[in-house]
Amino acid sequence: MKRREFITLLGGAASWPLPARAQQGERVRRIGVIMGFAENDEVWQAYLATFRQRLQDLGWTDGRNLRIDYRFTGEDTERIRTAAEELVGLVPDVIFVSTNPIVSAVMQATTTIPIVFTWVSDSVGSGYVASLARSNGHVPGFHNFEPAFGGKWLEVLKEITPAVRRVAVVHVPEITANLAFFRVIEAASSALGVTVTGAGVRNDADIERALTDFAQEPSGGLIVTPSPLTATKRDLIIAAAARLNLPAIYSFRFYAASGGLVSYGSDQTELVRGGCVLRRPHPARGKSG
């Protein structure tokens, strides 16, 4: 089997012809996987279970004709860099990654090993792909949100809590997509009668301080942008928002399942289970590659 055919498996292989799938006696293929959550996070474990099941459905089983090397980094930038370098050093056939910081780190670590990404926002603006219809050679994948989605989060928040007049956008300043969301939200704010404040955060202390300071004045609400930090620290953010009486909207369902007020976004499990549903670009389900 050609390497390109194997890589196709990770980006919508439901359309891959059966004869091209795993054959008895062929060499074991190797996938490096870097996830932006903690290893024991139930969200990622469910996601990876679906990923492994999808591979098995297509004829690939870890320990038989496939070897999968995992790294779980959370939001720690040093762990992300180290994980990227470690997996590149193993020279896998392909590296399957999640979240913007991890894509950036792996792209810095290799220009030859194919990288298939998911759980990524604004893949074009972040420089990962040339366009939604065309990848940058070795970096195909599926992304979650275009920057324009920021305006939708603001609309939904205003719809469910009309009394909100001030909105803090919780984001990680180093993530290009987070800044793009903030700019869109800011541009849409005047039409909805709200003022927008950037709440840049990098750790637990930043989250507590930013939310507490913002809550000193009334009629506030939150938009929590997607990132490894806001996902990993979701319990902290959700608890602080409830304590400070700040209605908040989040990007993925698992935030609401963890006690957040409301979420609005794409179904990540669906992307793994049926990659071929992303044949055409969608505001929440853009295809690249």
Give pTM, 2 decimals.
0.81
- Report CA-CA distances (Å) from 167 to 8, 17, 151: 41, 49, 12
Q: 7 pLDDT exceeds 90?
A: no
Q: Rounded distance, CA 158 to CA 101, Å?
A: 30
Are the beta carbons of 107 and 115 closer than 8 angstroms? yes
Q: Rounded distance, CA 7 to CA 176, Å?
A: 27
Clarify whether residues 82 and 159 are in a common domain.
no
Structural domain including 24 reads 3-144+267-288
pLDDT, mean over the chain: 84
Who contacts 191 (Cβ-Cβ below 8 Å, separation ≥6)?
A: none
Of 59 and 82, which is predicted with more confidence?
82
Clarify whether residues 235 and 115 are in a common domain.
no
- Indicate the pLDDT class of residue 55, thresholds 50, 70 and 90: confident
Clarify whether residues 20 and 112 are in a common domain.
yes
Of 164 and 136, which is predicted with more confidence?
164
Total number of domains in the chain: 2
Among residues 32, 109, 28, which one has the least CA distance to residue 70?
32
Q: Rounded distance, CA 106 to CA 88, Å?
A: 8
Clarify whether residues 233 and 279 are in a common domain.
no
3-class secondary-structure state, position 148: coil
pLDDT digits 0-9 by tens, 129-152: 877 766 666 787 777 899 999 999
Clarify whether residues 70 and 192 are in a common domain.
no
Rg (CA), the chain: 19
- Indicate the pLDDT class of residue 26, thresholds 50, 70 and 90: low
Clarify whether residues 102 and 238 are in a common domain.
no
Q: Rounded distance, CA 173 to CA 178, Å?
A: 7
Q: H helices within 33-110, ranges in order?
A: 42-57, 77-89, 100-109
Clarify whether residues 18 and 128 are in a common domain.
yes
pLDDT over 70 percentage in the chain? 82
In the DSSP assignment, the letter for residue 222 is E
Clarify whether residues 156 and 83 are in a common domain.
no
Looking at the DSSP bridge assignments, the partners of residue 62 are 66
Q: 105 pLDDT exceeds 90?
A: yes
Q: 238 pLDDT exceeds 90?
A: yes
Q: Which two tokens stand for residue 113?
A: 């090993």
Are the beta carbons of 168 and 197 closer than 8 angstroms? yes
Q: 15 pLDDT exceeds 50?
A: no
* DSSP strand pairing (129-131 vs 134-135): antiparallel
Clarify whether residues 133 and 206 are in a common domain.
no
3-class secondary-structure state, position 98: strand
Q: 273 pLDDT exceeds 80?
A: no
- The CATH number of the domain holding residue 219 is 3.40.50.2300
